[in-house]
Amino acid sequence: MNFNLQDKTNMEDVPKITVKISPMQKLLMYIILPLNVLWCSFLTVVCLPKENNGIKNNAVCSKLTPVKNSAISPDIPIELLKSKSKLMNGTINDVLMTVLSLSLK
């Protein structure tokens, strides 16, 4: 049963799925769950201690400068990537991700 967006769906082909919700489940959905969201929001805003940002402290901010470094590398031939991936029993993507991760360290 595959449908395309351009197909005109015959509703007889669609399975009829009906879920009957008991009154207790309706009570839970419409009353208790929104109150639970409000309670969790209250706990988060009022009762939890303030978290300090680990990046914005004086020791880290004093080391930050506006000077940026960059590097340009030559193109890597696809034949080299293919041969390395076959040698390591991996894919070209594995080789590229390894090279990129090692260059960022």
pLDDT digits (tens, 9 = 90+) for 2-40: 555 666 777 777 777 877 888 888 888 888 888 999 999
97 vs 101: CA distance, rounded Å: 6
**Structure pTM?**
0.34
CA neighbor of 76 nearest in space, from 98, 61, 59, 55: 98
Q: Which bin fits 78, alpha (ψ -120 to 50), beta or left (φ > 0)? A: alpha
**Does 61 fall in a domain?**
no
**Does 66 fall in a domain?**
no
**Does 85 fall in a domain?**
yes
**Does 38 fall in a domain?**
yes
pLDDT digits (tens, 9 = 90+) for 69-79: 887 888 889 99
**Does 80 fall in a domain?**
yes
**Does 70 fall in a domain?**
no
**Count of domains in the chain?**
2
Whole domain around residue 89: which residue ranges? 75-105
**Does 30 fall in a domain?**
yes
**Does 3 fall in a domain?**
no
Burial, 94: exposed, middle or buried (Cβ in 10 Å; 0-12, 13-18, 19+)? middle
